Structure 1
Amino acid sequence: MQKLNGVVAAGHQETALAGLAMFPLGGNAFDAAVASMLAACVAEPGLTSLGGGGFLLAHTHTNQNILFDFFTQTPSIKQSKSQVDFYPVDVNFGGSVQEFHIGLGSMAVPGVAAGVFKVHQTLGKLPLKVVAEPAINLARNGLEINTFQAYTFNPILSSILLSSPEGREIYAPQGSILQAGERIVMKNLANTLEYLVQQGFEEFYQGEIARQLVADCQQGGGYLTEEDLRRYRVIERQPLRIGYRGKQILTNPPPSSGGTLIGLGLELLSGIEVANLEFGSCRHLRMLADVMRLTNTVRKQGFDDRLHEQNMAAEFLSPEHLQPYLQELQETVNKWGSTTHISVVDSEGNAASVTTSNGEGSGYMIPGTGIMINNMLGEEDLNPHGFHEWRENVRLSSMMAPTLILDGDRLEMVIGSGGSNRIRTAILQVISNYLDFGMSLAAAVNRPRVHWENYRFDIEPGFNQTEINHLQLADHSEIVQWGERNMFFGGVNGVATNADGTILGTGDIRRSGVSLGI
């Protein structure tokens, strides 16, 4: 097998191609990740944006591990709810309807623009102009919309994408929303990217773009202020490290919740001989439902309130804290989630796992820029205590969990997922499929999944129907069988490295994911 210089797995072919183009130019995995992040804002505009937030987990060839936190920040000042532009919309996934809130009052301080610049400045090799060029060309010349992107546009996000004049100009230039096979062009975004590359990405936070955003918030009912934007910073964190089946799992630490909740799930699974259970059997599905249910139970017991405390993860993952949940799970076994992800590995041993999101988008686009701002203050998953109850000037907690698997010091896998509240259960199942059942990366990612939440157990097609017919859950949750694979169950894109140095990637078929190597 030919040795590759690098592999990129992403949610769209153009996203992956932008990253792949960096390797022949002498770029590394981090140049590729930044190029892909920028291209995703064009190729996957329903999922990510410079106005959103995210995380990049970096592993360097010198075995340095850094989690770049550029997720969204809560505003510093609250207003009366009656003065805030904040209203609900329903998002229909086909088998499930979820309510989100949008408007100027749903916008948190964005971080992707700062994250792009920080990661490139810290770990990149190529000039930023070179790294941004594929995204700029893509935005200016346009690209053909694929079936999955058309699905995210309509029916899922149509009411949001078309809620502003610039949104209608981009997504419905002829009066009706773009369909698969038609071309989307984002010339204003191309111009904005060129401007930011020339002037510096700090212009997004302190220049005319920032002033326009703040002025519209002040006039229309948003929270964001000049101070909120000016003092935003990317935070470098130590990844959360979890041992599982002799491997080391590195993932997103607090104050984000997703990584720690994955850790909770893995700690629960570690007490079970999962390999002895047939994949998709009644016992396997029951065990997954119980692990997800128990993880949610732990979360409700002060978890979210303590995410900003030091050593919080160590306490919640300690054997003493988990013992009653482990015992309940073992007794049970013996009785019978708009987000996108990019994974990159290069031949030097550098790796990047990056998850970004714009939520569903607030509906507001900064005039003349092509940039829609996030609606993270309107995401129920990110506001467990209720809307408008957030603490001022803190990082919002996120389910995003860019993840690495290490075998000793050797990088073995880079994965992550989109999917809102389903991110943690998607990644948990892929890790278990790979390490417990010995599946290949492609099989681990694309086997059917389940998700338990709020006494509802959603099951993708592909499991044995006889096993499902015999499935009885301890909590009498409703069992819902889906008719087709769906983005509701996440979108895991990953890259694996073998001991001989070969690199293999895979994209999640649920979101038309791709993997390309060079």
Structure 2
Amino acid sequence: MPVRTSSTLAGLLCLLVMLSPLAASAQPPIIEGERFHGEPGEHAMVVTSHTLASQAGRDILRQGGNAVDAAVAIGFALAVVQPRSGNIGGGGFMVISDEKSGEVTSIDYRETAPAGAFKTMFQDDQGNVIEEASRHSANASGVPGTVAGMAMALKRYGSMSLDQVMAPAIRLARDGFAIPQRFADGLNGSREQLQKDNGTRRLFYKADGSDWRAGEVFRQPELAATLMRIAQNGPREFYEGETADHLVNTIKAHDGIMTLEDLKGYRAVERAPVHGSYRGYDIYAMAPPSSGGVHIVQILNMLEHDDLTAMGFGSAATMHLMSEAMRRAYADRSKYLGDPDFFDVPVKALTSTDYARELRAQIAPDRATPSDAIGPGNLTPYESNETTHYSVADDSGLAVSNTYTLNFSYGSGIAVPEAGFLLNNEMDDFSAKPGVPNAYGLVGGEANAVAPGKRMLSSMTPTIVKHEGKNFLITGSPGGSRIITTTLEVISNVIDHGMNIQSAVSAPRFHDQWLPDEIRVEDGFSPDTLRLLEGMGHHVVQKSAMGASQSILINKDGFHGGADPRRETSSAIGL
């Protein structure tokens, strides 16, 4: 099957037209046109947020590995070259589709709350939320899941050993790599927060405290040693061995509650993904504790019977309709979404086409509904019941969509210095207090309250779209609360507007999450369109670029990789 790692001429022209004003940070992604001439049928596509991670995945595929092998190699490589979001100290979700068996599954390796966690742990004596406690303290960290999740995926669906797929990451950590500008800018921009922690300062700044500069070689011997221990001894080393001791000692030194028993008890979970359909395409996306899959399907259900193709991409009519659907889904998110092991999430009701019709009937064609007039729906009639993304596909019919994170850029800002990695601050994704927004402005309720062993709600939405039983679109994005809408828009751009994959991920985006009552838009939309939306009653706010969707489209012409220009290190590499 042929491989395309860059878009067609039309797509390139579309990219130039739409993205010229997008954002100062939006630079062309790295596209490698190289094609591997191996045995017949040895073709695949890797799209990640960092070219070195893409190369790691490509190298594993060249060695005979499958898409899952490559995905695990990428996950560990990003932990080295992109420490602001790539991680072994965080967690995430992976969706896997196997055309041969027809199976689509997912691996939930979201972090869990330590056993000592309790509902009001991030409130003061007066019941007010203490933001720093859930964001920049040792107790901001949930029990990490990345190592367990990667190992589960490899054992169940991969074909190589852990030491084989971890070899590229170990080499990058041990030998170092030339720092790109974004890496240097990130550390410099976060200096005030990161240098508060002695371990973080030691790992990520020079001995004299000065910044690393683009082009300099950055080595991480402590992380290399940690990765080697995991590769040689297996994933339980992270949870029960020397690495676990280092992690818990760091937590204790910062007065945190996580224990060795919390680490020892962590397990990744395999779950059935949420499934829906849209205009003849099958949508498979992450189930709770992700809210993304449920709401992707819910929003698409609301849009199913509207002709978005005729309305046109970027038109006021299209943006109005999608915005109104988005805000209703986010209102439901505030009440009904949480960890399904602790709360009976009404997935069937939320993804019901009857419920979608009820919500669609509430949307006026020419007038915005104020957010204070929208609330979580009544589901009784229907059921009693700085993150990074990458995509991989091979021509054996295996496809992987993976999103994982530390939550904020650089997580809690606290590092495990002896082990070379940063801790997450995912505890902020719980509802510290029902009705009080988190750092992304998302409002939650009792379903997402803190509880021991519970997985916090997430917006991460790794998604695979199939058509007539074949893998068609592998997509997802970072971006906090904007992940869901970014992924939704890539799907719509391809299916409704016929864009090639590079144009679909490059096109300007918009976002509406119910509260605050606004449509957030990137640069690139027509001023006339924005004036029309304001005339309908929408509050339009122009802000910086959203998300970084690393996506793959597979059709009769082959594999097509779309690397998002919002990250200058983004890379699509085909075999």
What is the TM-score when the length of structure 2 is the normalising length?
0.81
Query: Residue 2 and residue 436 in structure 1: after superposition, are their counterparts in 2 closer, same or farther (change >3 A)?
Result: closer
Q: Does 1:221 align with 2:262?
A: no
User: Distance in 2 between the 1:399 and 1:134 partners?
Assistant: 29
User: Distance in 1 between the 2:183 and 2:173 partners?
Assistant: 15
Measured against aligned partners, the alpha-carbon deviations of 1:367-393 in whole angstroms (never above 9, x if no partner) come to 31111111001342588349x941221
Shift of 1:465: 1.6
User: Distance in 1 between the 2:355 and 2:123 partners?
Assistant: 42
Residue of structure 1 in register with 2:396 after alignment: 348
Residue of structure 2 in register with 1:193 after alignment: 227
Please tell me whether the aligned partners of residues 140 and 427 of structure 2 are also in contact (alpha carbons under 8 angstroms). Answer: yes
User: Distance in 2 between the 1:399 and 1:187 partners?
Assistant: 33
- Structure ranking higher on relative contact order (CA contacts 8 Å, 6+ apart): 2
What is the TM-score when the length of structure 1 is the normalising length?
0.90
Q: Does 1:41 align with 2:79?
A: yes
Q: Does 1:275 align with 2:309?
A: yes
After TM superposition, list the pairs within 5 Å mapping 1:396-411 onto structure 2: 396-411=456-471
Residue of structure 2 in register with 1:17 after alignment: 55
User: Distance in 1 between the 2:348 and 2:551 partners?
Assistant: 27
The number of aligned residues is 499
Query: Residue 82 and residue 67 in structure 1: after superposition, are their counterparts in 2 closer, same or farther (change >3 A)?
Result: closer
Measured against aligned partners, the alpha-carbon deviations of 1:235-255 in whole angstroms (never above 9, x if no partner) come to 011111110010000000123
Please tell me whether the aligned partners of residues 334 and 444 of structure 2 are also in contact (alpha carbons under 8 angstroms). Answer: no
Shift of 1:100: 7.2
User: Distance in 1 between the 2:64 and 2:339 partners?
Assistant: 45
User: Distance in 2 between the 1:122 and 1:212 partners?
Assistant: 29
Choose from 564, 567, 572 the match for 1:508. Answer: 564
Q: Does 1:479 align with 2:540?
A: yes
Residue of structure 1 in register with 2:517 after alignment: 455
Q: Does 1:376 align with 2:426?
A: yes
Measured against aligned partners, the alpha-carbon deviations of 1:285-314 in whole angstroms (never above 9, x if no partner) come to 222321222222222344448785557211
Please tell me whether the aligned partners of residues 102 and 378 of structure 1 are also in contact (alpha carbons under 8 angstroms). Answer: no
Please tell me whether the aligned partners of residues 288 and 338 of structure 2 are also in contact (alpha carbons under 8 angstroms). Answer: no
Query: Residue 200 and residue 255 in structure 1: after superposition, are their counterparts in 2 closer, same or farther (change >3 A)?
Result: same
Please tell me whether the aligned partners of residues 15 and 43 of structure 1 are also in contact (alpha carbons under 8 angstroms). Answer: yes
Aligned with 1:133: secondary structure? helix
> Gapped runs of 5+ residues in structure 2?
4-41, 370-385, 430-437
User: Distance in 2 between the 1:445 and 1:366 partners?
Assistant: 35
Of stretches 178-187 and 425-434 in structure 1, the one that deviates more from structure 2 is 178-187
Residue of structure 2 in register with 1:95 after alignment: none
Measured against aligned partners, the alpha-carbon deviations of 1:388-426 in whole angstroms (never above 9, x if no partner) come to 941221122211111001002111111111111110010
What code does the residue aligned with 1:101 have? R
Q: Does 1:428 align with 2:488?
A: yes
User: Distance in 1 between the 2:339 and 2:79 partners?
Assistant: 33
Choose from 106, 111, 118 the match for 1:67. Answer: 106
Shift of 1:87: 6.7
Choose from 410, 416, 424 the match for 1:366. Answer: 416
Please tell me whether the aligned partners of residues 377 and 383 of structure 1 are also in contact (alpha carbons under 8 angstroms). Answer: no
After TM superposition, list the pairs within 5 Å mapping 1:98-497 onto structure 2: 101-155=135-189, 157-173=190-206, 174-304=208-338, 308-309=342-343, 312-329=346-363, 331-332=365-366, 338-360=386-408, 361-379=411-429, 380=438, 384-385=444-445, 389-453=449-513, 454-472=516-534, 476-482=537-543, 486=545, 489-497=546-554
What code does the residue aligned with 1:73 have? T
Aligned with 1:491: secondary structure? coil
Of stretches 286-295 and 45-54 in structure 1, the one that deviates more from structure 2 is 286-295
User: Distance in 2 between the 1:81 and 1:479 partners?
Assistant: 33
Please tell me whether the aligned partners of residues 497 and 503 of structure 1 are also in contact (alpha carbons under 8 angstroms). Answer: yes
Aligned with 1:401: secondary structure? coil
User: Distance in 1 between the 2:249 and 2:176 partners?
Assistant: 30
Please tell me whether the aligned partners of residues 2 and 559 of structure 2 are also in contact (alpha carbons under 8 angstroms). Answer: no
RMSD: 2.7
Please tell me whether the aligned partners of residues 293 and 461 of structure 2 are also in contact (alpha carbons under 8 angstroms). Answer: yes
Measured against aligned partners, the alpha-carbon deviations of 1:455-508 in whole angstroms (never above 9, x if no partner) come to 12221111112222222265x4532224xx62xx111001111135x1111111
Please tell me whether the aligned partners of residues 7 and 504 of structure 1 are also in contact (alpha carbons under 8 angstroms). Answer: yes
What code does the residue aligned with 1:187 have? P
Shift of 1:10: 0.2
Residue of structure 1 in register with 2:16 after alignment: none
Q: Does 1:517 align with 2:574?
A: yes
